[in-house]
A and B are shown apart, each in its own frame.
Chain A
């Protein structure tokens, strides 16, 4: 049996897992990858309780990148000031730059999170640069959920 077509909505990566979130006709599908193991769960539209949208920074990411950047930056400065060695200072400076730039970009742009809470599971999507896309996905999920839960095919009464 061919599974229904699905559209990639967003991604969510943590230290341990990488998640890709898809939209299928009747659910939000979350594929979590841990190494070569993939686990799949679904948040059915007919079971969605709450959809949220918020903007955050992710302090762990900023702090780890900032500390690494400052570490290399301070090495560059110490080479420049105390040892008067411009080449190693430049090398450490170049290494420090991407870390500091990434931390600053995150502080300025922040992250947009869309979270879908179902009865039994949830899906989280995060968007770093695509702010408009995040808003679109939020509105699309809300609209689709409302449509599915309004439809007469949705379950209607308490279990027998």
Chain B
């Protein structure tokens, strides 16, 4: 991806001030955290290693998913349901991370964060098969953060908020023409 900060700012010009401020604040506060609230440093290192394999980002996609998870864990984000017998979300994360580390120690005799990428992938595959619920929880919660970040939208080709100008290009030809006016949209 080739996207400078200035380009992002140009991209944001289409949004109204309120939407823009809300997104800038999100990028500032929901992703980067000076101090983690829910996870220990050790947990954060494991999460970081796992998320780099689960959602591999380009080096310019500077999206701190561990910071986001720390912000998001325990927040319902639209859903309050909990399966019978399951622990609350924060506890579920602690248990899952501990499980990941234990699997790693058992299989490779090293911490998850110190494994080679291939070894990490094999552990993640084991978790996907063995502890599917945690795997889905981790992946989908992290994806909420990833998919809420303007840098990821640029990669997807998703224009973000439509307000206030709206989308007028609803047919194929219009889409293609419209895209020409947004250099940077499909150039990465």
Q: Do A and B bind each other?
A: no
Q: Which positions in A face B, CB cutoff 8 Å?
A: none
Q: Which positions in B face A, CB cutoff 8 Å?
A: none
